[in-house]
Amino acid sequence: MKKIPSDKYLELAKHLSKEDRERLLSRTRTKLMRRLEDNKMSADEVVAIQLEIEDEDLEEWRKKWAELKEMGKAKAKAKAK
């Protein structure tokens, strides 16, 4: 896990609505929440890191889904023969 958020995500975090920030904080990992509670990081930094983590997870999920779809197409072609 990164200790410092990138500028891109820090800027995104600053422009989120209060409701969106609360939703992100509710999904935040324990380690990040501890840093927020211990005042080691600001709420903006925690939200930015969480945004970055979720974007990375989403990208990984999309790649896996694309692989599964390709495998399904290959199986369908093999079955059709």
DSSP string covering the chain: --SS--HHHHHHHHTS-HHHHHHHHHT--HHHHHHHHTTSS-HHHHHHHHHHHHHHHHHHHHHHHHHHHHHHHHHHHHHH-
Supply the pLDDT for residue 65: 97
pLDDT digits (tens, 9 = 90+) for 19-41: 999 999 999 988 888 988 898 89
More confident residue, 79 or 17: 17
Supply the pLDDT for residue 4: 87
